[in-house]
Structure 1
């Protein structure tokens, strides 16, 4: 006879990743699998819940299907949003915000700023013709724009350091990148993008203006210039380019720079985890980097304060403070955080329960790993009836 389930955990698993999924149901008090469903449709989960009116709590992610199923199938149960998924959503928002903050954070580098301004005045990168592609979803486009803004600023910093006379190895060490990545970016002449660059095909003379422009940008290596114009269709030899560059060569005055700081190596992905982690667990070096970021960018400082307020509420299970946090976010001028808060507000009761109760989807993830192990041991023959029997009646 099946034992009554009071606290239920719901999650999906892949029959075939990106194509078909099933649902796993776990008793969170006993930490045992109690059923496996053939799909993750809300109607399927709803029907199972209606057959088990004894369920008092349902732990789930923020997916719409499970939310609808729990609401319709177990109206008597308290829904609990899994904390891991909430933090994951928050980290995606933080990465978008910090990607746009990189240029602002690096503006404090006094020894480099004058060269950057001069470089901006001399060289404005021309737009490239993008390949025809399907329309990108809005959230993917925003995330791409944030990452692209960070990459563009990294390339701007890279060319400025080269103009000051630093070698590629020195640039890589200062920026916390690999020498190979620096060499590749400089060879491309731009930060990596998903766009395709049009390549012209002609004799050398039409490339003279391009070579002069690249020279003013700080690219003084004949071999690199040759490779760039060769990629655009130049059919001459490298010797021709060397002769032209030799007439322009001039040793640039090497500038004494301040020691590299966290701003030089700033990455929105790395900074996101600095914002989320408990400050007491950070090393002195990481605390210094975090303090530098907050000092350089007002938006980053406000974002960090709101993030730590939310994470403290989550760690201490103080769901009663959720309204105060919502008010603070609403009063801020950070649209990304306000969108995140509005999304949580739509599922307020379950979010507050997740911030208050101890239940989470952690034990479910362990059972999903067990399910995958059993499924793979059956060499693809794990159809639902056999897989269900092996999981439910395992010793």
Structure 2
């Protein structure tokens, strides 16, 4: 099983109640099982939910075995833990991520690659990119190896982009603006009007 398969799942349709489910579980565990009371509490917090939503979820909590383990984290949540800066995670998130990584050595290796590239990107450590690419190649993780291969196609330019403070963002933005104006005027104006539109904006 690849590391990608570990976090891949059929994503259920999101519900407005999803952000409030942890709260309902915390209140339900000590004995607050009244859907009316829980719905009233969420309404006091301006939650955009209905009584039927709360009642249906409370019913699933009642039906669950008392010693059932907590549900596994979603793909979106694990991805967020991996891509966010470690200092921005709460203690609960860090503990949950540590538990997930302990269950899958490949995912733990992938997390190390993500953190390493994040440090290169934010710290302008482009000179260390070849070492990172070698580590990725040695791990042979699908997804990462393909990404590293693309970096090798123009390694000098990538290293410069990850090391220097200058950026082509301004030029790219101007080019995209001109393309947008050209699309808007396509078939309706000639070069002179196009030129005026670009100069005026």
* Structure-1-length-normalised TM-score: 0.33
In structure 1, the residue matched to 2:66 is 256
TM-fit CA distance, 1:382 = 5.5
- Which is greater in Rg? 1
Q: Residue in 2 aligned with 1:394?
A: 200
What is the number of residues matched between the two proteins? 155
Taking the aligned partners of 1:383 and 1:296, their CA distance within structure 2 comes to 63
- Unaligned runs of 5+ residues in structure 2 are 23-62
Q: For residue 137 of structure 2, give the secondary structure of its aligned residue in structure 1.
A: helix
The structure whose RCO (Cα within 8 Å, separation 6+) is larger is: 1
> CA offset at residue 286 of structure 1?
3.4
Aligned partners of 1:374 and 1:324: how far apart in 2?
Answer: 43
Measured after TM superposition, the shift of residue 353 of structure 1 is 1.0
- Residues 388 and 286 of structure 1, relative CA distance in 2, 3 Å threshold: farther
More strand per residue: 1
Runs ≥4 residues deviating over 4 A: 368-380, 382-385
Structure 1 portions without partners, runs of 5+: 1-96, 103-148, 156-168, 175-252
Determine whether 1:101 maps to 2:101: no
What displacement does 1:331 show?
A: 1.8
Listed as ranges, the matches of 1:58-77 within 5 Å are: none
3-state SS, counterpart of residue 349 of structure 1: helix
Within 5 Å, give how 1:189-268 maps onto structure 2.
255-258=65-68, 260-261=70-71, 263=72, 265-267=73-75
RMSD: 3.6
SS in structure 1 opposite 2:131?
helix
CA offsets per residue over residues 34-62 of structure 1, 9 Å max, x none?
xxxxxxxxxxxxxxxxxxxxxxxxxxxxx
> Higher helix fraction: Structure 1 or Structure 2?
2
- The 1:350/1:285 distance shift into structure 2, 3 A limit, reads same
Q: How does 1:121-160 map to 2 (within 5 A)?
A: 150-151=9-10
By how many angstroms is 1:273 displaced?
3.6
| 1:357 matched to 2:164 | yes
Q: Deviations over 1:86-128 (max 9, x none)?
A: xxxxxxxxxxx654013xxxxxxxxxxxxxxxxxxxxxxxxxx
Distance (whole Å) between structure 1 residues aligned to residue 80 and residue 86 of structure 2: 11
Match of residue 291, structure 1, among 98, 106, 120? 98
